[in-house]
């Protein structure tokens, strides 16, 4: 359930999250906005950029309310020296949380609520020029992003949201050599955003505090868990995976 945010507490949590990342050897850049920033959803950077080995694709959010956020992201990317290799054009819409790298040669792309066919086709064409295959799947009605359906627990284990996964998705992942763990704890998935974690590499993830059963499940499946309090971000409907934009992809 969405709630009114405590702005000062949100900033405190943002900088605490930055410290946690840095303590786990992740380099962090922050996008700083003025107090009169007209883009409250800018918090969720995962939607606004998508990293490839050649550089970053600048996304175009589906919601008209978010129009203009990409300009602030483009400016920040320029300031920190990250190349923009492509922007979504025309009537296409694409959000970064709808595309995930299965391996260096394969991307899985979800279309539906936030990414349309025109945007997906632009991504597919770009990746084809890199020699990368795109597997497109239609997300279920009401599902916002592919990231809400699947996430990478380790280099060989993927967790699936049992309630939101399309029927063919598990077989696709199995065919690519992954072990699949289906998650059914809707309370901790939806309210604690326990599945909305970031993989830190070396069988370690960073997840929100409070999802105790999911944490135990992840540990049982061979993953070390680092936690961080993002309770103010949860009030806005997103987790650590949503608010983190990935800038570099090997």
Give dist(CA 61, CA 242) in Å, integer: 13
With pLDDT > 90 as the criterion, what percentage of the chain qualifies? Answer: 89
The string of pLDDT tens digits covering residues 103-141 is 999 999 999 999 999 999 999 999 999 999 999 999 999
Q: Helix, strand or coil for residue 84?
A: strand
With pLDDT > 70 as the criterion, what percentage of the chain qualifies? Answer: 99
What is the pTM assigned to this prediction? 0.95
In a domain, 27, yes or no: no
Residue 1's pLDDT is what? 60
Give dist(CA 97, CA 115) in Å, integer: 9
What is the residue range of 56's domain? 43-243
Q: How many domains does the chain fold into?
A: 1
Give dist(CA 120, CA 92) in Å, integer: 8
CATH, residue 67: 3.75.10.10
In a domain, 113, yes or no: yes
Residue 136's pLDDT is what? 98
Nearest to 53 by CA among 118, 120, 107: 107
Task: Tell whether the model's pLDDT for residue 35 goes beyond 80.
Answer: no
How many Å separate Cα 210 from the centre of its chain? 20
Averaged pLDDT for residues 31-56: 88
In a domain, 203, yes or no: yes
- Where do we find the tokens 């175009």? 60
Identify the burial level of 245 via C-beta atoms within 10 angstroms of its C-beta, where 0-12 means exposed, 13-18 middle and 19 or more buried: buried
Residue 59's pLDDT is what? 98
In a domain, 9, yes or no: no
């Amino acid at each position: 359930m969405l709630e009114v945010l405590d702005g000062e507490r949100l900033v405190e949590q943002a900088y605490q999250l930055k410290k946690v990342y840095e303590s786990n050897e992740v380099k962090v850049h922050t996008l700083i906005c003025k107090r009169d920033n007209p883009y409250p959803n800018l918090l969720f950077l995962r939607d606004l950029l998508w990293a490839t080995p050649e550089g970053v694709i600048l996304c175009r959010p589906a919601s008209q309310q978010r129009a203009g956020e990409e300009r602030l992201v483009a400016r920040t990317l320029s300031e920190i020296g990250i190349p923009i290799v492509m922007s979504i054009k025309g009537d296409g819409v694409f959000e970064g949380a709808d595309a995930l790298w299965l391996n260096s040669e394969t991307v899985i792309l979800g279309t539906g609520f936030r990414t349309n066919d025109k945007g997906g086709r632009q991504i597919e064409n770009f990746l084809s020029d890199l020699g990368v295959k795109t597997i497109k799947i239609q997300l279920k009605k009401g599902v916002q992003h592919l990231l809400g359906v699947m996430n990478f627990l380790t280099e060989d284990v993927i967790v699936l949201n049992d309630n939101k996964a399309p029927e063919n998705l598990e077989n696709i992942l199995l065919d690519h050599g992954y072990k699949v763990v289906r998650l059914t704890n809707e309370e901790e998935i939806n309210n604690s955003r326990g599945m909305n974690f970031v993989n830190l590499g070396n069988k370690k993830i960073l997840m929100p505090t409070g999802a105790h059963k999911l944490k135990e499940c992840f540990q049982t499946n061979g993953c070390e868990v680092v936690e961080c309090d993002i309770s103010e971000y949860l009030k806005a409907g997103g987790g650590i995976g949503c608010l983190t934009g990935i800038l570099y992809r090997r």
